[in-house]
Structure 1
Amino acid sequence: MTKPLQQGVRYLTDSGLETTLVFHDGRDLPAFAAFPLILSPGGRARLRAYYREHADLAMAHGTGFVFETPTWRANTEWGATIGYSQAALDRVNRESVIFLKEIRDDYRAMPTAISGQIGPRGDGYVPGRRMSADEAAAYHAPQIAAFREADMVTALTINTVDEAVGIVEAATMEGLAVVISFTTETDGRLPGGESLAEAIEETDRRTDAAAAYFMVNCAHPRHFVNALGGASVARIGGVRANASMLSHAELDRAERLDTGDPHALAEDYEALARMLPSLQVFGGCCGTDARHVRCIAERVAPVAA
């Protein structure tokens, strides 16, 4: 198990990039993909401002910062839906790491990590076509290989154990530290049916605990807090929660962004930090922005303590 983060250091990360771009900026994001912004000067300028806004919060609150590439949709099938070949995706994934390294140069005074972000093959909310672990490893291997210059790989919104196992295996073959972030429904179960605790423990069992740690994202803390138990409690190292308490189905139908209550969300994060001894990375997902991360930092950062 490779440790990509400094022991004993809390890290912030960013928030809901895609929902910020769509609902706050009014941008059209086909397939909910942010990665094309890397390929234009204007897009890079917007991404630079976004990352700096969040990294500045980490600097102000005495934490580290995890820079996540904007590549959640930059895998083979999702890229193809908006006209990107595998060669073009390889380029954008590599350039995303280089881009974040350039920003990181301005934050040498604090601990940082560059994470190559990957998403599920299908819809994060719906398991869809089931893959074996071997199929998942083969599918995600090209994107993971493009992140070989990153410090780690983080797979967000994963909803089945087989896909998680395959991602861990592919990253291990590349010699990269890997983090698996599961999403849950309102009952604390993955869309694939497993409880959060079962999914973490089964993934560890099948991979000899090769993942650096696990995360939960795209769910509100109150959806999964009661689903934790056993060995899973010690293995959760990060949370990127939704601002909204709506279910995935309700969010899909919503025409307006539900930004929830940033202060109440921060209180939930503080409770999770007391409950989960390995919790180290704090950020946001759908509906969150820098306001939410600021409130979270005020509750969990060393300065607050």
Structure 2
Amino acid sequence: MSKYRSRLPQVDGEQLFMTDGGLETTLIFHEGVSLPYFAAFDLLKDADGTQLLEQYYRRYIGIALQHGVGLVLEAPTWRANRDWASLLGYGTEELADANRKAISMLLRMRAENESPTSPMVISGNLGPRGDGFRADAKMNAADAQRYHAEQIETFARTDADMVAAFTMNYAEEAIGIVHAAKACAMPVAISFTVETDGKLPSGESLRSAIERTDDDTGGYAAYHMINCAHPLHFQNTLHDEGAWLRRIRGIRANASQLSHAELDEASELDDGNPEELGKLYGKIRTALPAMNVVGGCCGTDHRHVDAICRNLAPG
């Protein structure tokens, strides 16, 4: 039985929760792992790959325990949907098994490490059907619901506490995911990505995407997030007013100030400056009164998340 599905602790109070950093970029650039299609879930197919993932998560568990903050453990399943998995030769049952293995791994790690001051939430991680950086193969909301229901239903049959969709670049896919999560009675968080101008790759404003997603789903999402963009790319969009700002609880920013197109072409990792990134999170928090879920995305690692926690955690 899920421990927190009926009451997510990161929504229930004001305690700071952290997540991990850029899983895929860490594995590729720091660990030297070949990761076709950024599909980290493929490592779960053998013991060596599973051990590598566990080592990665243990770094973040240690940071959470050190700072006495909560931790949202996101499964390594951002690419574990039908279209991307088929490129790696996964069939329907093999893919479902990989998603289940990811949750089982995190459940085991939580059982070994959770403490009263560091509650740990298990999240089934979803990614876009297409390219996270380009909104060039859009679905309508109904098609998105049907497509993502497969992975969400798999997570719902595990003891995962929630699902979270990252790098959403147009509202209709996010809306479909929320409907699919609601049909499974799964709490869901939606994280949009933006370009250097603060707008989604689709051209829609962040405010519009959040408001449309909430309007079309009855506000079912537990909260919204922003990921895969540097704080300097979206900080000006947060000067607006309105209730939509209180719906943003989480930030998982990139280390680099490069655009998505530039990151796509980069052959070397741009890991930015961990201390500067941590300070930028502190500034962003003043614009987002509900922000209490923080971590990193492309180019970030445990150093960045530690710096973020040091700037935000009390004491």
TM-score range, shorter chain: over 0.9
Q: Report what 1:139 is aligned to.
A: 147
Q: How does 1:193-272 map onto structure 2 within 5 Å?
A: 193-228=203-238, 229=240, 230-272=242-284
Q: How does 1:5-154 map onto structure 2 within 5 Å?
A: 5=9, 6-109=12-115, 110-148=118-156, 149-154=159-164
Deviations 1:68-98 (A, max 9, x none): 0000000000000111112111111111111
- For 1:184 and 1:163, locate their aligned partners in 2 and report how far apart those are by CA, in whole Å: 15
- For 2:127 and 2:291, locate their aligned partners in 1 and report how far apart those are by CA, in whole Å: 21
SS at match of 2:249: strand
The alpha-carbon deviation at position 182 of structure 1 amounts to 0.2
The alpha-carbon deviation at position 27 of structure 1 amounts to 1.0
| Alignment coverage as a number of residue pairs | 303
Give 2:308's match in structure 1, choosing from 272, 291, 296.
296
Amino acid in structure 1 at the alignment position of 2:267: E
- The answer as to whether partners of 1:62 and 1:302 remain within 8 angstroms in 2 is no
- For 1:10 and 1:30, locate their aligned partners in 2 and report how far apart those are by CA, in whole Å: 34
User: What TM-score results when the alignment is normalised by the length of structure 1?
Assistant: 0.97
- For 2:94 and 2:84, locate their aligned partners in 1 and report how far apart those are by CA, in whole Å: 13
- The answer as to whether partners of 1:179 and 1:214 remain within 8 angstroms in 2 is yes
- The answer as to whether partners of 1:239 and 1:284 remain within 8 angstroms in 2 is yes
Tell me, yes or no, if structure 1 residue 4 matches structure 2 residue 8: yes
The alpha-carbon deviation at position 25 of structure 1 amounts to 1.1
Amino acid in structure 2 at the alignment position of 1:200: I
Q: Report what 2:288 is aligned to.
A: 276
- The answer as to whether partners of 1:35 and 1:70 remain within 8 angstroms in 2 is yes
- For 1:278 and 1:2, locate their aligned partners in 2 and report how far apart those are by CA, in whole Å: 20
- The answer as to whether partners of 1:2 and 1:212 remain within 8 angstroms in 2 is no
SS at match of 1:147: helix
Change (3 A) 1:261 1:227: same
Amino acid in structure 2 at the alignment position of 1:83: G
The alpha-carbon deviation at position 108 of structure 1 amounts to 2.5
- For 2:32 and 2:113, locate their aligned partners in 1 and report how far apart those are by CA, in whole Å: 29
User: What TM-score results when the alignment is normalised by the length of structure 2?
Assistant: 0.94
The alpha-carbon deviation at position 231 of structure 1 amounts to 2.2
- For 1:274 and 1:59, locate their aligned partners in 2 and report how far apart those are by CA, in whole Å: 25
- For 1:129 and 1:275, locate their aligned partners in 2 and report how far apart those are by CA, in whole Å: 33
SS at match of 2:166: strand
Where does structure 1 lack aligned partners over 5 or more consecutive residues? none
- For 1:3 and 1:279, locate their aligned partners in 2 and report how far apart those are by CA, in whole Å: 18
Deviations 1:95-128 (A, max 9, x none): 1111100000122212110000000000000012
Amino acid in structure 2 at the alignment position of 1:264: E
The alpha-carbon deviation at position 2 of structure 1 amounts to 6.7
SS at match of 1:294: helix
- For 1:132 and 1:222, locate their aligned partners in 2 and report how far apart those are by CA, in whole Å: 31
Change (3 A) 1:3 1:238: farther
- The CA RMSD over aligned residues, in Å, is 1.2
